Structure 1
């Protein structure tokens, strides 16, 4: 029997799921997140969805071995999940653009009735920009560390105002600045963006607008990092 031990990223998401929630876990992979939540009694029900059959077969074995009911859907994103089946949606381990595409294809996620727990692996700035531009509110951001890398989990609801925000102002949200570990996260982020800027400056064919945009990202992050000291 496979043990349902969650990685730090998944454990962070699990801790954010309200007790008694009805969860839809998108990109469920082997189903460890919903199975562990069902075993602990934290959620009332859960659905797992994945675009690949192999991981779903593994999730089905895990659910059966641990004696929990986990309906599984073979589909892209939320295509096979109805809004009335869940009140909480978790989407983890994907790029920010992929997460935005999943939400765009399921407009009901913006109704304000569903809590969205989003853990982007890449393109975090772009995801925040998309969320704000489509009326989603970032209510909370949680910083977690897995091995040497930092991640953020965005707690999001729809029903907010539409906000057009430049990408340089999407490196973090006001909610992130309130999170435990925010300064350490911003320090790592600042180091990465400085390296990117130095790489651009040493190149010979970088567009001036792109270079100026990168300088602004570095400035904004550095200012926020210093203010958190």
Structure 2
């Protein structure tokens, strides 16, 4: 194995969900490390790497030349706007906020209909999960991964009958899919702390305009508390 393009844990977790023989689109590719590694390993047939910024895309091209891969196209575009729907069957959107990932999918309905989408939000995972039903997507798999001290969720979604998630699952992941993950206790604690900080902040503000948001956060916090009790065997 060529270790020059070794994947960090976050990208390795994404790569593990990519099907063998896939034709991949990697959105926001940055240095194209993921598609290059998958091509070098012979796991995928081809890849399209997109980025909205010329600088990272130039580095992606340089890396592909250095790696000697020939089935990688680098496209300067916003999201999937420069990708031909017929050229890919698997889409990776990683390294950006959950709301941005949802917006990219909303602008590419063909991907929601036909592709396996592997999504890795850097922030606001609850906004991404909340958007999935309106996009006609259902979660097929979820993984948790720790990288450089941060905890990330990786979701594999595909067109299907949307399933309702509880308020706490929007933040922590679908219980039936992630409760066996060794990091599940960590994500519960992390999101519980995040919600506690947010609730306290809104309570201090005392603005009537924040009331709906405050109630939603309290509901999510209560649901996560119940998930923690269930996980530790107290609520079964």
Normalising by the residue count of structure 2, what TM-score does the alignment of the two structures yield? 0.89
Identify the residue that residue 110 of structure 1 maps to in structure 2: 112
Residue number in structure 1 paired with 2:135 = 134
The residue number in structure 2 matching 1:29 is 30
Aligned to 1:79: 81
CA distance in 2, matches of 1:34, 1:59: 10
Q: Deviation per CA, 1:82-131, whole angstroms, max 9, x where unpaired?
A: 121111110100111111111111111122x3110000111211111111
Structure 2 counterpart of 1:190:
192
Q: How many residues align?
A: 227
- Is 1:119 the counterpart of 2:120? The answer is yes
Counterpart for residue 200 of structure 1 = 202
Please give the per-residue CA displacement for 1:150-180, whole angstroms capped at 9, x wherever unaligned.
110010001324x676766522324333544
- Contact conserved, 2:167 with 2:223, CA < 8 A, in 1? no
Query: What SS class does the counterpart of residue 30 from structure 1 fall into?
Result: coil
> Superposition pairs for residues 27-176 of structure 1, below 5 Å?
27-69=28-70, 70-111=72-113, 113-161=114-162, 170-171=170-171, 172-174=173-175, 175-176=177-178
Give the whole-Å Cα distance in 1 for the aligned partners of 2:215 and 2:63: 50
| Aligned residue in 2 for 1:223 | 226
Task: State the distance in 2 between where 1:54 and 1:96 align.
Answer: 23
Asked if the contact 1:168–1:213 (Cα under 8 Å) also holds between the matched residues in 2, the reply is: no
Q: 8 Å contact 1:96–1:126 — kept in the other structure?
A: yes
Cα distance between partner residues in 2 of 1:160 and 1:84: 24
Note if 1:213 corresponds to 2:216.
yes
- Structure 1 unaligned spans of 5+: none
Query: What do you get for the CA RMSD once the two structures are aligned?
Result: 2.1
Q: Compute the displacement of 1:133 (Å).
A: 2.3
Change (3 A) 1:169 1:152: closer
TM-score with structure 1 length normalisation? 0.91
Q: Distance in 2 between matches of 1:107 and 1:130?
A: 13
